[in-house]
Amino acid sequence: MAEKGLTPVSVHPVFLNQHLSAGESGTSNAVDLREAAQRGLFSLSVSVAIGTAGTAGTTVLTYSGCSKVDGTYVTPSSAIAIGTMGTNCSRNIITFEPELMPFIKIIATQTGTGTAGKDSKVTAELIVQ
C-alpha cells in the first residue's frame, strides 16, 4: 500500500457553465497530466443544466491529447467517448481510461440541430490520480 500523499487525487476544472447551442462544441484548456496522473486513474464529474431555451439537450463528452501543451491535439483512433449526459439536467461522475498522453483536453458536444437542446450549461471537473 502506498504511503499517504504519494499519489494524491487532483481536480482540474475544465468547464464552468459552458454554454452550448445545438450542434456546438466546447473544448477545455489543456490539462497537464505529467505529474497529476501517476496511477492512471481518470474520472469526469459533469453537470448539464438548462440554459435560456428551457431545455438541456444531450451532451457527448470526448477527449483529445498531445505530446506538447501548445501542439496539435488529436482524438486517438482507439478513443471511446467518456460518456453522454441526457436531457434531464443531471450530474454524474464518469470513469474513463484514456491513452497515455502528457496533455489532455476535454470536449463537450451538444447533439441535435436547430433549436433542440439550445443553450445548455456544462460544468465539469477532471479528476485524476
Question: Using one digit for the tens of pLDDT, what is the confidence trace for 9-55?
Answer: 999 999 999 988 888 899 999 999 998 878 889 999 999 887 766 66
Which whole number is the average pLDDT over 64-70? 95
Q: What is the residue extent of each domain of the chain?
A: 19-128
pLDDT of res. 90:
75
Task: Pick one of 1.10.357.140, 3.20.20.140, 2.60.120.1110, 3.40.50.300 as the CATH number of 19-128.
Answer: 2.60.120.1110
Q: What pTM value is reported for the model? A: 0.87
Q: Are 106 and 27 in contact (CB under 8 A)?
A: yes
The percent of the chain in helix, strand and coil, each rounded to the nearest 5, is: 0, 45, 55
Report the distance separating Cα 97 and Cα 15, nearest Å: 20
Up-side HSE of residue 121: CA atoms within 13 Å toward CB?
Answer: 8
Q: How many residues does the chain have?
A: 129
pLDDT of res. 1:
47
